Structures are given as structure tokens and as C-alpha cells.
Amino acid sequence: NAGVTQTPKFRILKIGQSMTLQCAQDMNHNYMYWYRQDPGMGLKLIYYSVGAGITDKGEVPNGYNVSRSTTEDFPLRLELAAPSQTSVYFCASSSFSTVLTDTQYFGPGTRLTVL
């Protein structure tokens, strides 16, 4: 099992550009999450999904969009990138809906810089 995979690992964007961060998991988890991590700030939830076709906002959703067309994939879209979106982005998944465990498994992260 590859677990949770993310692409790209690094990206530099110019202000106003758009991009999609890819996330995939092969553990058949229904729950998937997108977080951003800024220095000294822990992890902030951007969006999450409880299954294919169902998504909801987290704590800091502004400037981002998500979709969940399959159980495996959960891409995060940045429209009109801004310097405030410079951060490290982590995707995670869990089997919460089936075994009621809170354990989330994280991907390797994408380091995004907006200049």
C-alpha cells in the first residue's frame, strides 16, 4: 500500500495563478482532509470529505475549492493564488466512518510558495 500520496512536492506560483494539489489514498478510507501548516501554527483544516460526492468546509476554506468524485482522490484547487496561501499543505485520510477511529494518516505534503 502506498498510503496517502500527494503531488507535487514543491511548487512556486505567481500571484493570481491557479493550481490543483493532488491527493490520493489506497486504503479505502471514506474520510479525507486537507490541512495547511504555517510555522508555529499547528494544522488548520481547509476542507474535508466524508465520502465520494460529499465535501464540507473546515476552519480556513477561503481561496480554496475541493471535489471528491471517487473514494480514492481528493484534489484541492487554489484559484487566484495570494501570498497568504504560502504554506505546507497536507492531505490525510481516516476510516472514521467504519471503525470510529480518529487516527488520520497523512501524505508527505506539498510546499507551496506564492510570490
Answer for which of 25, 109, 112, 114 binds other proteins (CB under 8 A) is 109
Minimum CB distance to other proteins, residue 42 (Å): 4
Contacting residues for 40 by C-beta, under 8 A, at least 6 apart: none
Q: Is 44 exposed, middle or buried (0-12, 13-18, 19+ CB in 10 A)?
A: middle
Q: Which residues pair with 113 in a beta bridge?
A: 12
**CB 80, CB 63: distance < 8 Å:** yes
Q: Please state, in angstroms and as integers, the Cα–Cα distance from residue 13 to each residue in 19, 23, 78, 85, 98, following that order.
A: 8, 19, 10, 10, 38
User: Which 33-72 residues touch other proteins, going by CB under 8 A?
Assistant: 33, 35, 40-45, 48, 50, 58
Give the per-residue contact string, 14-33, with other proteins (x = CB under 8 A; - = no): -----------------x-x
Q: Are 48 and 34 in contact (CB under 8 A)?
A: yes
Smallest gap from Cβ 89 to other proteins, in A, equals 11
Nearer to other proteins, 14 or 100 (CB): 100
**Residue 94 contacts other proteins per CB under 8 A:** yes
Of the candidate residues 21, 74, 107, 114, the single one contacting other proteins (CB under 8 A): 107
Q: Note the residues at the interface with other proteins (CB under 8 A).
A: 4, 31, 33, 35, 40-45, 48, 50, 58, 90, 94, 96-97, 101-109
